[in-house]
């Protein structure tokens, strides 16, 4: 898989965060970026679009990132879901890793972290 052929779903309740991540992903050469603003929408968008990678905030309205992660993995056990969270959510992180998260990124997510993640997946 190449970055150009990748489809990435970004799920975060902050439009600012989504726009910043989308811009960095585009700079990394990612072909398509889809956005969701809450956990429920993320699950729907995942099922509709079958992204290669999902970036999921842990703390979100309607359905938490961990709940959305579980729903996505039950729809597609091979889904690559990377959880993102700010400091102070270590308990949630443990739950996300146990639930099958592919990786974890600490917020604020740096451009370099995203680039490394894309490289890791496209290898």
Write the pLDDT tens digit of every residue in 54-105: 999 998 889 999 999 999 999 999 999 999 987 666 777 788 889 999 998 8
Mean pLDDT of the chain: 92
pTM across the whole model: 0.94
Per residue, the 3-state secondary structure of the chain, as one string, reads CCHHHCEEEEECCCHHHHHHHHHHHHHCCCCEEEEECCHHHHHHHHHHHCCCEEEEECCCCCCCHHHHHHHHHHHCCCCCEEEEECCCCHHHHHHHHHHCCCEEEECCCCHHHHHHHHHHHHC
* Domain boundaries defined on the chain: 3-122
Please provide the CATH number assigned to the domain covering 3-122: 3.40.50.2300
């Amino acid at each position: 898989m190449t970055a150009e052929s990748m489809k990435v779903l970004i799920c975060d309740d902050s439009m600012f965060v989504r726009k910043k991540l989308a811009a960095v992903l585009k700079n990394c050469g990612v072909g398509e970026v889809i956005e969701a603003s809450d956990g429920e929408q993320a699950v729907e968008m995942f099922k509709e679009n079958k992204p290669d990678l999902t970036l999921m905030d842990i703390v979100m309205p309607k359905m938490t990132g961990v709940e959305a992660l579980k729903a996505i993995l039950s729809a597609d056990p091979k889904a690559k879901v990377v959880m993102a969270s700010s400091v102070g959510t270590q308990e949630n992180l443990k739950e996300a890793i146990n639930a099958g998260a592919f990786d974890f990124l600490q917020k604020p997510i740096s451009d370099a972290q995203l680039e490394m993640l894309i490289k890791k997946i496209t290898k």
